[in-house]
Chains A and B, each alone.
Chain A
């Protein structure tokens, strides 16, 4: 295992910049997830670490060795591809040990690794089959096995679950997390799925248009997003953003007046410099007022008209209007709201975030200034 360091890494195709001045330290044994919408440069970044794309500018180090000019077959990395890229003419067994053999492992090591990996990924009964005779989920496991069998410095994952159905994806996500902890692998994982990012990453790197928007633990990013992009990209359903006027010490929209002083650590002085502000409330932080226990930090949005109820079993998502925008709340099964009913929703003001209307950046809390 090794650490991976990216220093001022740039990638462009002709004049088109794909990755802009990216800096990232992946610690030994750390699982880092690159997440962002398609075209944000996350896959390109991964492929630069793998050596499948050249680096326009900057340095990449694996284990304190700069590997910019090292071809992929000399980097000692393992990678799981989105389309698996299994060798079609080789059996599952041959696919799994192919890289291991090349690295010069002796027969005993190969045998043990194969037994380990096929046991762990439940591939025992398929070892003699060809990839064409496997289902998508089985192929995915073989691709994982081929990477895990290697004793690589870094393990790279390029959207490995995106071709699986929802149930299998969930299962494999859990498996990957388990295996990574078991082997203490240094791993970089690329996905566009924010749930994968949240559940797998020790740290998450949110990217947009070739730029890193935020790096942090999943909970940091969920609770303290640096801007509205990160705030709405991470978390499902997306965070509600409502524009509010600032009147004295109150944030005003519709008929609601939120006491700004009660919002966690807000710096009233810097707030007064603005006319308006974006109020960010995650759907998860709404509560049905009839069920919430009283607290003086709760704000109640009363007389809310429910436009739609989506029942998800334990949860239900409520669609309504807030500040003229569509907003969502996630309530649990204790709540019995119905479409077109008028209800009250409560929010813990400590959970409310404020963003600058023009820069879209989060307004710094007083505690952090």
Chain B
């Protein structure tokens, strides 16, 4: 290509990405920078700001509630990421076998992912309702496992596990979908070659399926970490007493003693941690 053509091509490229760059700048970069700016101020509801330097950060790092929410977030992340990945993988392998009504089953599995959060959250709250819920009915009345009806969602410690379970149930279909797509593209003769080489079904899973899925699994884990570190609505709607980082930030910013400066500081730390995690992960695990 002549240099004129190359120049024209790159000009066209710039024009094509300009709208996207503009929108991202306005909706993502600007808020981040503004957030960073706010984190150095004491912000009043009427908009008055007083510069306080690193005060927000020092206060935050001395606040035990902050560390508690970090701990809750870590448990939430580990539980949901492992849960969705394992359940998604199991479902994908199952749905990759041939059986009657397979296409129907493949579709049905996606339902939790399609369902609006607000409606299924109420369903889950009914399930665990201490008086009328089916959970307590089955555990106490039918199976007689305990004598006491428990308010699983009301107690923040057990609510954390309900929230994790809810997230696994609601979000494993996306992992399943990605795994299934990759499974279908694994050449059949690789399995045949492994069988000829003496591998039983478990050996074939270990030596063919897992290596072939490696990058999809890594991608799913990455996406789940990003999504769930920032996940707000599922947790807040189902059990607002489970204080993950986003919930804690929300309480700081908009509830009780409104402290938007402190909330901004939490977000900044959270963003830095997330960026650091992703960088490490992409370099070390995905090796991009």
Determine the distance from Cα of A81 to Cα of B193 in the docked complex, in whole angstroms.
8
The reply on B200 being an interface residue by CB < 8 A is yes
Nearest chain B residue, comparing its CB with the CB of A86 = B193
Most buried by B among A72, A86, A103: A72
B200, A73: Cβ atoms closer than 8 Å: yes
Q: Give per-residue flags for B199-231: 1 if the beta carbon is below 8 A from chain A beta carbons, else 0.
A: 110010001100110100000000000000000
Determine the distance from Cα of A51 to Cα of B190 in the docked complex, in whole angstroms.
15
Please, which residues of chain A bring their CB within 8 A of the CB of B195? 51-52, 71-73
B192, A85: Cβ atoms closer than 8 Å: yes
The reply on B108 being an interface residue by CB < 8 A is no
Q: For window 224-239 of chain A, which residues contact chain B by CB distance below 8 Å?
A: none
Q: For window 251-281 of chain B, which residues contact chain A by CB distance below 8 Å?
A: none
Determine the distance from Cα of A52 to Cα of B189 in the docked complex, in whole angstroms.
10
Query: Nearest chain A CB to B193's CB is how many angstroms away?
Result: 4
Please, which residues of chain B bring their CB within 8 A of the CB of A72? 192, 195-196
Determine the distance from Cα of A161 to Cα of B230 in the docked complex, in whole angstroms.
54
Q: A85-B190, A87-B190 known; A99 and B211 CB under 8 Å?
A: no
Determine the distance from Cα of A146 to Cα of B197 in the docked complex, in whole angstroms.
9
A85, B189: Cβ atoms closer than 8 Å: yes
Instruction: Count contacts on B: residues with CB < 8 A to the other chain.
Output: 18
The reply on B64 being an interface residue by CB < 8 A is no
Interface of A is mostly: loop
A77, B211: Cβ atoms closer than 8 Å: no
Q: Give per-residue flags for A33-63: 1 if the beta carbon is below 8 A from chain B beta carbons, else 0.
A: 0000000000000000011100000000000
B193, A85: Cβ atoms closer than 8 Å: yes
Please, which residues of chain B bring their CB within 8 A of the CB of A98? 197, 207
Please, which residues of chain B bring their CB within 8 A of the CB of A99? 196-198
A87, B192: Cβ atoms closer than 8 Å: no
Residues of chain B whose beta carbon lies under 8 Å from any beta carbon of chain A: 187, 189-190, 192-200, 203, 207-208, 211-212, 214
- What are 21 A-B interface contacts by the 8 Å CB criterion? A50-B192, A51-B195, A52-B195, A52-B196, A72-B192, A73-B198, A73-B200, A76-B198, A77-B196, A79-B192, A81-B193, A85-B193, A87-B190, A87-B193, A87-B194, A87-B207, A88-B212, A89-B214, A99-B196, A102-B203, A150-B197
